[in-house]
Structure 1
Amino acid sequence: MTKRLFIFILLSLIFASLTAAYAADLWGEVLKDGRYYRLLDPEGNVLLETARRIFPRDQYLTAENRLYEVTKVDDENLTASAVLKEEVELKVFPWAELKRELAASLAEAEEGKKGKISLYHTHNAESYVPTDGADSINGRGGIHKVGMAFANALSALGIDVDYSEKMHLPHDRGAYRRSRETVLELLAKKPDAIFDVHRDAAPQSAYALQLGSEWITRIQFVVGRQNQNLGINRKYAQSMKKIADELYPGLVKGIFFGRGNYNQDLSPLSLLLEVGAHTNSRDAAERGIGLFSEVVDLYFYGPAAEAASGQDKTARRSITSLLFFVGLGLAIFYIINAGGFQPAWAGLKDLFRKRLR
């Protein structure tokens, strides 16, 4: 092989690897300067406005639980088309049941004590223009104050909170690779769930919701569809939305199933939250995430969760009891066939002596 050919092949491999890395990370890029995609149904109605990149085969579950799938994306005009796939009837899958489905071990909480919830921010600079004066602040942006409001609300409900404010700047497509280390650190402490707290970019009306006399921001879930936990992530996200729909109708505006993994391949009970948009006030976002904390508490530590946990403990006790009685029955059968306890005991001793020779 000539030196020139070797250099050409080497440069080709480097170019191919860089291209693959670029394509792999492209899903993690969000539009800047207040720009956003508009997802449209066949009649031209707006289903979703988001700064997240949209790709063909992405899906969106609307507030009305209608699941759409993206068929075409126009990146130049920042629009995407989608068709209705199905009307989804949500149900609640208890978290203990989801973990059993993955054969994951459940951390036993102390009697009467709630577990741990972990929080972090992949995009630390995200902020809210009406309150923070800019959509992005180099350093800890307004999203950190929303994260702290979330942590405080969960703590007030008796939940142990592990809130990481570790930085993953700059706000680019590589941020998810940098935040992956943070996720692993948080998971090492065995939380019940982990939330990556963000804000979106969209018109103010896309997230604004009036509940009584107060304005809050709605919350959107983002689930990465390129990870081995997608089936569990989907059940988990839809369970949370089902509870939110019953507790605070309209609080969860939808679920975006997008290309990528958002580090959700590391844990089945990991969820990305969009808490309002850059056009909403941070105060409204803090009120919205405060209400969402009640949804988290109800899902993980409410009556349904307790019932599922109780069923799990009952099942373990039943299996232990069954094994005990089976063993007892075998012992009685052996004693009877040996002609009594003394002959049975002598037979066992003889058997052990033979095995030890």
Structure 2
Amino acid sequence: MNKKWNGRKIFHKCVLVLLIIAMGDFLFSGRSSVGEGEGEHFSWKEVFAARAQEGVLNIWLPSFAFADKGSASGRGWFEQILGQQVPLFAYAGSQDNENLQTESGSTYEKILLLEGASEYTESEDGDALEVPETSEGKIRLDDNMTQLLQEENQTGQDQDGEQQEVQMPAPDQFGFIKAAGRSQEYNWSYYQDFDALIKEFYAVDATTEANPKRLNLDALLGKTMAITKNPDVPQILIYHTHSQEDFVDSVPGDISTTIMGAGELLAQILREEYGYNVIHHMGMYDVESRDYAYSNSLPAIEQVLAENPTIEVVIDLHRDEVLEGRKLVMDLNGKQTAQFMFFNGLSYTKAHGDIDYLQNPYIDENLAFSFQMQVIANEYYPGLTRRIYLKGYRYNMHLRPRSLLIELGAQTNTVEEIKNACAPIAHILDLELSGKGLY
């Protein structure tokens, strides 16, 4: 009898020790640094699970089942016992974001940190981001346009038989000369091939991956992204998750020479030249640090949208960061103009798979919106845009189906080059929203 009782005492002590170890694991195992890879932190639970075998524990104490990490359906024994009473210990695989955010150092927080720290295109070199000037899927129209101009010259003679000068389109009030039409068109049958589509239009960050189910040409072109313009109510929101991004000749303390100044000019052009009602939100969410910039800005942007439910287009305007000495610029109508790039988050990384913490019900619409904008830009202003960049996180693009993240130039551009790009961006956006850009 005493031996049996002593055996029970030993067993109970072992269970108590394991309980203490498991509690310590929940409290401290998530304190690995952000730079460490998944699974690199030390876990007592994993050590004992490997040596004692989970099956033994499950036989003696069924509630001691270890849940699979990352599984929302198989939550651990500790949550079963204490999760309802002590929310602090909520399991990191839970779909409940409120609980996730309470766990210091959790996977959720790591993802938010990585998302907020940078959306720069550091995984790709410059050449990989440029759009090819020629390909088998493009039809050049330059020769046809030249021929039409020559014919106009030949017939445009005065009564004395002297040649009349061909009149170029007049610049708008912002000094910008709009493209009169397309200078090239796409042969879409060529881009039904997934590899051809990716090669022409996209740069895929090394942390994520693209697949033909998501990047389907028919879906990208088939979604109607036009809106019915109503200048009486706000329809476009421009804001800046990274408000502190500036340029090579920006004036310290003068926000008009930063990305926020570019946002104000873009808003002005959309209002005065195209008649849109635009809100330019000037909130700053990265003054002390870029960390968590997206999660920091999210409540404020959600409030703006709640107060203005008529907003249909949300633009987060950034600038990229490139190697010093590299400059994203082209000559457009005689003006040095910064090149820009559309950017999409896929809520998917190779390390985590689908990121349920950062769900986006509008990924397909976001992709269609940027793709159609890219097509218009390439056809009307070849060379002005770089390939669409795909990265693994969400970047607050879940707020509206028509959400854009634009990387306008880089830190090596001048303020003037940046401002020169605002008018063509506005023109491309108007062609898209009016439904006139695609054929």
Task: Normalising by structure 1, report the TM-score.
Answer: 0.63
Equivalent runs, 1:96-135 vs 2, <5 Å: 96=226, 116-132=235-251
Residues 209-228 of structure 1: CA distance to partner in whole angstroms, max 9, x if unpaired?
11131101011111110133
Q: 2:127 aligns with which of 46, 57, 62?
A: 46
Shift of 1:5: 4.2
Taking the TM superposition and a 5 Å limit, the aligned residue runs for 1:1-357 are: 1=16, 4-5=20-21, 8-12=24-28, 15=31, 17=103, 18-25=105-112, 26-30=114-118, 37=122, 39=124, 46-48=127-129, 65-67=200-202, 69-70=204-205, 91=221, 93-96=223-226, 116-132=235-251, 142-156=258-272, 157-169=274-286, 170-188=288-306, 189=308, 190-203=310-323, 205-226=326-347, 227-303=360-436
Cα pair 1:61 1:68 within 8 Å, conserved: no
CA distance in 1, matches of 2:271, 2:368: 26
In the superposition, relative to structure 1, how do residues 11 and 91 fare at CA in structure 2: closer, same or farther (>3 Å)? closer
2:203 and 2:388 in contact (8 A); partners too: no
Give SS of 1:210's match. Answer: strand
- Conservation of the 8 A alpha-carbon contact between 2:256 and 2:262: no
Contact 1:60/1:256 (CA < 8 Å) preserved in 2?
no
Secondary structure (helix, strand or coil) at the match of 1:132 reads coil
Contact preservation (8 Å) 2:328, 2:409:
yes
Which structure has the larger Rg over C-alpha atoms? 2
Alpha-carbon contact 2:327-2:413 (below 8 Å) kept: no
Q: In the aligned structure 2, how far is the partner of 1:240 from the partner of 1:146? A: 19
21-30 or 123-132, which deviates more: 21-30
Please state whether the residue corresponding to 2:110 is helix, strand or coil. helix
**Comparing 246-255 and 194-203, the one that deviates more:** 246-255
Compare 207-216 and 19-28 and name the one that shifted more: 19-28
How far does residue 175 in structure 1 lie from its aligned partner after superposition?
A: 0.4
Give the Cα–Cα distance (whole angstroms) in 2 for the partners of residues 179 and 60 of structure 1. Answer: 36
Distance (whole Å) between structure 1 residues aligned to residue 250 and residue 384 of structure 2: 21
Deviation at 1:124, TM superposition (A): 1.0
* Contact kept in structure 2, 1:93 and 1:235, CA below 8 Å: yes
Task: Determine the C-alpha separation between the residues in 1 that align with 2:195 and 2:233.
Answer: 32
Question: For the residues of structure 2 that align with 1:277 and 1:263, how far apart are their CA atoms?
Answer: 21
Farther-moved stretch of structure 1 (256-265 vs 227-236): 227-236
Tell me the CA shift for residue 299 of structure 1: 1.3
Where 1:243 maps in the other structure, the secondary structure is helix
Task: Compute the displacement of 1:187 (Å).
Answer: 2.1
- Asked if the contact 1:222–1:271 (Cα under 8 Å) also holds between the matched residues in 2, the reply is yes
Give the number of aligned pairs.
Answer: 268
Structure 2, unaligned runs of 5 or more: 1-15, 32-91, 93-102, 131-193, 348-359
Q: CA RMSD in A?
A: 3.9
Aligned counterparts of 2:254 and 2:331: Cα–Cα separation in 1? 31
What SS does structure 2 have at the residue aligned with 1:65?
helix
Distance 1:94 1:88 in 2: 14
Measure the CA separation in 2 of the matches of 1:83 and 1:164.
32
Structure 1 residue ranges without an equivalent (≥5): 50-58, 74-79, 97-105, 308-357
SS at structure 2 position matched to 1:130: coil
Q: Relative to total residues, which structure has the larger strand share, 1 or 2? A: 1
Alpha-carbon distance in 1 for matches of 2:107, 2:210: 29
Q: Which amino acid counterpart does residue 298 of structure 2 have in structure 1?
A: R
Instruction: Kindly provide the CA deviation profile for residues 232-260 of structure 1, in whole angstroms up to 9, marking residues without a partner as x.
Output: 11111101111222222222212111110
| C-alpha distance in 2 between matches for 1:10 and 1:38 | 34
Whether the aligned pair in 2 keeps the contact of 1:47 and 1:62 (CA below 8 Å) is no
Tell me, in whole angstroms, the C-alpha distance in 1 between the residues paired with 2:127 and 2:270: 34
Contact 2:246 2:411 (C-alpha < 8 Å) held by counterparts: yes
> Is residue 95–residue 300 contact of structure 1 (8 Å, CA) maintained in 2?
yes
Q: 1:65 to 1:279 in 2, by over 3 A?
A: same
- Cα displacement (A) at 1:87: 11
Farther-moved stretch of structure 1 (162-171 vs 146-155): 162-171
Structure-2-length-normalised TM-score: 0.52
Tell me by how many angstroms 1:167 deviates.
Answer: 1.5
Q: Distance in 1 between matches of 2:418 and 2:196?
A: 21
- TM-aligned CA deviation for residue 141 of structure 1: 6.5
